[in-house]
Chains A and B, each alone.
Chain A
Amino acid sequence: MLPWVYEFHWTVFHITFLLVFFSVFVVIVTTVVMAMRRTQQAEQQNKIDSILWHSDFEDLPPKARVCRHELSGEVKNRMCDNGFDCRSCKVHTFLVSQQHEPHSVQFETYGFTMPPYRLYHRGHAWVQEEKDGTYKIGIDDFGTRIIGRAQSIELPEIGTHLSVNGKGMLVRKQNAEIRILSPIDGKVVEQGDAEKGWLLKVKPDNKEKVTAHLLKGDEVPNWIMREMERLQISFATSGVGATLADGGELVPDFHKHYPKADWDSVLGQMFLEA
């Protein structure tokens, strides 16, 4: 294999063969080393949450990745390839600049209470701006009804920094453990609870574009309708057969009515966790 071993001759063929072989070997080794180095860098830069989300997002079925502009009827058959982060999406920027009509305001959507003054994340968290510049965060009505009565909700400590699509909070329910994605970037300044009607209060990092990626207005009813469809699919695959009739409303504490369903799978699919 090496020039000084066994019948090696300084001919074009021998040299080319060795060069090609070693180049291949070097590329393989370099690729693995590069992956290891990037792993180390990502850990140091605390990018694990973001990578976890991207990994989960890659595994989402097409029905869960529909672009918000398809929800609002502006475009057809468009899938999000940006991890639901519209802030850096050029198509979103363009389409927003074309919008003229004001968004409709509905309080009730398919039986869910979705106040128009709140903004909604695709992972079923809502965000509401406060006068002091902070934002309240909670789980939306759809998410609350699926989870029902949670065994515990683990909230991040005050001072913790949250990033969009990173882990926001952890909900435990029987055998299932579900992380709710953080809808915005910012620092936790106060913890809430169910009685207060919100779970976290967050001070955003940057005032600009802090909620540009969140759903609002016309997008919300269409999104909820598709979420109902997804819920129906997730139930059909979790071994309980047909459950939701078209046109029906989701009862509160849905979980209680179908205790035998594979809730770990249903909650994972609905809260976008692989």
Chain B
Amino acid sequence: MDKKLIPRGLQRTSFTKFLLWVLPWTALLAFGTYAIYLCLAEGLFHTNMDNRFAFGIWIFLDLTVIALGAGAFFTGFLLYILKRKELKAVINSAVVIGLICYTGAMLVLMVDVGQPLRALFTFWHPNTHSILTEVTFCLTCYLIVLIIEYVPIVLKNRQLRQIPKFLVFEFQLHKLMPVIAGIGTFLSFFHQGSLGGLFGVLRGRPFAFREELGIWPSTFFLFVISAAAAGPSFIMLTTWLVEKITKKRLVKPSVYKFLGKVSGIMLIAYVLLKSIDTFIWINSTSPGNGFPAFEFYATRSFGTWILFTEIVTLGLLPALVLLSSRLRENRKLLFGAGFMVCCGIMLNRFVMTIQTLALPTLPFDEFLTYMPSWEEVATFLFVIAYGVLLYSFTFRYSTLFPQERELEYMPDEQSSKEFANSAGERSWWQPRFVTNFINRIASSKL
């Protein structure tokens, strides 16, 4: 029966091996379920959050996964709206990752609220003065969009498509996908932005507060652009990880390089805007509110190193690697840079949530420390386990990577050659000595 569910022509591991893979993740899922039960049944005292530290690991990781899940909307936008056909090779995977990230984030938010049944109040009694209202509305709609995008992937299963109704519905839904992708892009733009805007409007937290551009603080735009930069890198990394685990080639090297390039372009734009934003904040916004900006970096935990790491080490550096066609040829550099982009986004979301709350703002305040409880960590492990399981089942029983069949035949040498053949020329913005330096790094063994 299992074999009949696997797409024709795709090689999958035996059912026993698959069960062995699934088992530890199911155990982790059960452990997380217990932690969630404790938080919901007995109360939020199981967490180490309090009135002062209201945003803990949950919000930090929620913001991170939502940024990493942006690959779904951005890939959809590039494929269906801008017609970049090469991304067809990863769109299904991007949708599944997006769905996992967003459902996971929503689930954690429900636990965070403490009384999930009252989630309805957000819609029925919205606080029209809160930027979170927009986030809630957009997240809910976008989750519906992701589910609609996920349905055709499931219905394409070999046995399900034997049912005429499912086959035709999948086909018709697929034809309407540009509309869905357009809506997804619109919603993502607003909720990614509003999540950033949320920090930018915190007047009482001068570390996060930013000047407005139009009706939105600058953090609105920075969150959108950074998410668009991280999304393609995360898809690149997850695809590579699945390739390593399954020992298969799933997409052509050119797809990786394209994702890297897109990520690089968005990242350099982000680094530039972030630098301008930081410059304005240091010289105008923060002093204007009575705080010399460098006072915020006086603590040992959050020194200026964190700002440097965020903008230069995990921003500018990977951006330069990803923008160079020569460096993108080197797999280790390409995936290394992608990994750095994802870490950079994670650090940015950490700074915005944890550092913002930890720093004292009133004369009698002290630097606050916070350590998540095991229940908080276990709840997030639940999301990871759920994500791995959903992805594993979808990968086994649906076609996530349309190029997989074709690549199974292609010998390794041919694939490597293809990686090398698309070697680009020197980018117009690079001085020759930079090109030479890059070439030397690219040709060295890492």
Binding site for B on A (CB under 8 A): 1, 5-9, 14, 17, 21, 24-25, 27-28, 31-32, 34-36, 38-39, 42-43, 47-48, 51-52, 54-55, 59, 61-63, 233-234, 236-239, 262, 264-265, 268-269, 273-274
Contacts and interface: CB of A to CB of B under 8 A. Distances in A.
Given A21-B137, A31-B180, A1 B126 contact: yes
Given A24-B141, A55-B171, A264-B8, A32 B409 contact: no
A24 B125 contact: no
Nearest to A47: B168
B172 interface: yes
A39 B161 contact: no
Nearest to A34: B176
Contact of A54 (B11, B141, B171, B176): B171
Nearest to B141: A24
B8 A43 contact: no
A131 B215 CA distance: 78
B293 interface: no
B124 A1 contact: yes
A1 to B, nearest CB: 5
A43 B165 contact: yes
A244 to B, nearest CB: 12
Given A14-B128, A31-B148, A61 B167 contact: no
Contacts of B179: 27, 31
B114 interface: no
A8 B187 contact: no
A265 B9 contact: yes
Given A31-B183, A265-B9, 20 more contacts: A17-B128, A17-B134, A24-B186, A24-B187, A31-B179, A32-B148, A34-B172, A35-B175, A35-B176, A39-B165, A51-B167, A52-B161, A54-B171, A55-B167, A63-B406, A233-B409, A234-B9, A238-B9, A239-B11, A269-B405
Query: At the interface, is chain A mostly helix, strand, loop or mixed?
Result: helix
Interface string B321-351: 0000000000000000000000000000000
Given A7-B128, A31-B180, A35-B172, A268 B165 contact: no
Query: Chain B: interface secondary structure?
Result: helix
24 contacts: A5-B125, A6-B124, A6-B126, A6-B128, A24-B183, A24-B187, A28-B144, A28-B145, A28-B183, A39-B169, A42-B168, A42-B171, A43-B168, A51-B168, A59-B399, A61-B405, A62-B406, A236-B408, A262-B9, A264-B8, A265-B9, A274-B7, A274-B8, A274-B161
A268 B167 contact: no
Interface string B230-241: 000000000000
B145 A51 contact: no
Nearest to B122: A1
A77 B64 CA distance: 43
A7 B130 CA distance: 12
